[in-house]
């Protein structure tokens, strides 16, 4: 398998953490890809020109990160990262969606404030995204105290979201969210978290 990815992409980081947590990382070739490059061939594998995209032998090319993570979770014999059924399944899928939404808003802020020409920026849009990030983190705070040592799909996505918020300096979130901060401090020590820390 090949994973087309970027070392700064929080969506790709989710997939990379899943690969490590499931012991599949030695079966996946990481292919660094710059989706913003004018000459990128990424649309060949993902018509949306986004990372990550996973090239497989049996399932073709998969995108985006929730689909890739679910596929990888189907390939190992350990504890599923996405519970198979019942309330826990929907809890983790909802938590992943919340974390992905935080990432979506943080990426939108990044594009608006760092990539769009200054005279084309829309401050109201960036403010709206900042509020979405803050509300999303508040929602994570309300749940993080119950996570304990659980590190399944929901927590993987949450860690990727928090890592990107920190990496891009989107929000100083720890002081007002002590339970989430305490959880993050411990979760960030996992080998999968350390190995996938975002870098330029």
pLDDT at 186 over 90: yes
Pairwise CA distance, residues 135 & 188, whole Å: 22
Pairwise CA distance, residues 167 & 163, whole Å: 6
Cα distance between the two ends of the chain: 24
Sheet of 2-5, strand order: 29-32, 2-5, 53-55, 61-62
Q: Provide the 8-state DSSP code for 103.
A: H
The whole-number pLDDT of residue 120 equals 87
Quickly tell me which residue has 């061939």 as its tokens.
41
Query: pLDDT for 4-59, tens place per residue?
Result: 999 999 999 999 999 999 999 999 999 999 999 999 999 999 999 999 999 999 99
The whole-number pLDDT of residue 138 equals 98
DSSP class per residue in 22-49: TT-GGG-EEEE--TT-TT--GGGT-TT-
Q: Provide the 8-state DSSP code for 120.
A: G
Query: pLDDT for 116-167, tens place per residue?
Result: 898 888 989 999 999 999 999 999 999 999 999 999 999 999 999 999 999 9
Q: Which domains does the chain have, with CATH numbers?
A: 2-73 (3.40.30.10), 86-190 (1.20.1050.10)
Contact between 2 and 29 (Cβ < 8 Å): yes
Distances, alpha carbon 34 to alpha carbons 12, 25, 38, 54, 167, in Å:
12, 21, 9, 15, 18
């Amino acid at each position: 398998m090949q994973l087309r990815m970027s070392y700064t992409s929080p969506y790709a980081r989710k997939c990379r953490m899943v690969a490590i947590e499931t012991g599949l990382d030695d079966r996946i070739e990481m292919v660094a890809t710059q989706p913003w490059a004018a000459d990128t061939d990424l649309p060949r594998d993902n018509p949306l020109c986004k990372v990550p995209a996973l090239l497989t032998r049996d399932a073709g090319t998969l995108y985006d990160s929730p689909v890739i993570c679910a596929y990888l979770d189907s390939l190992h014999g350990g504890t599923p990262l996405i519970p198979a059924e019942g309330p826990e399944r929907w809890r983790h899928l909802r938590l992943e969606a919340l974390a992905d939404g935080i990432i979506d808003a943080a990426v939108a802020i990044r594009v608006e404030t760092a990539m769009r020409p200054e005279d084309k920026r829309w401050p109201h849009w960036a403010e709206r995204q900042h509020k979405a990030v803050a509300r999303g983190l508040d929602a994570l705070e309300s749940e993080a105290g119950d996570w304990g040592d659980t590190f399944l799909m929901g927590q993987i996505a949450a860690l990727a979201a928090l890592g990107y918020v920190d990496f891009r300096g989107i929000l100083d979130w720890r002081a007002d969210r002590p339970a989430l901060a305490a959880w993050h401090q411990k979760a960030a020590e996992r080998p999968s978290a350390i190995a996938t820390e975002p870098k330029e």
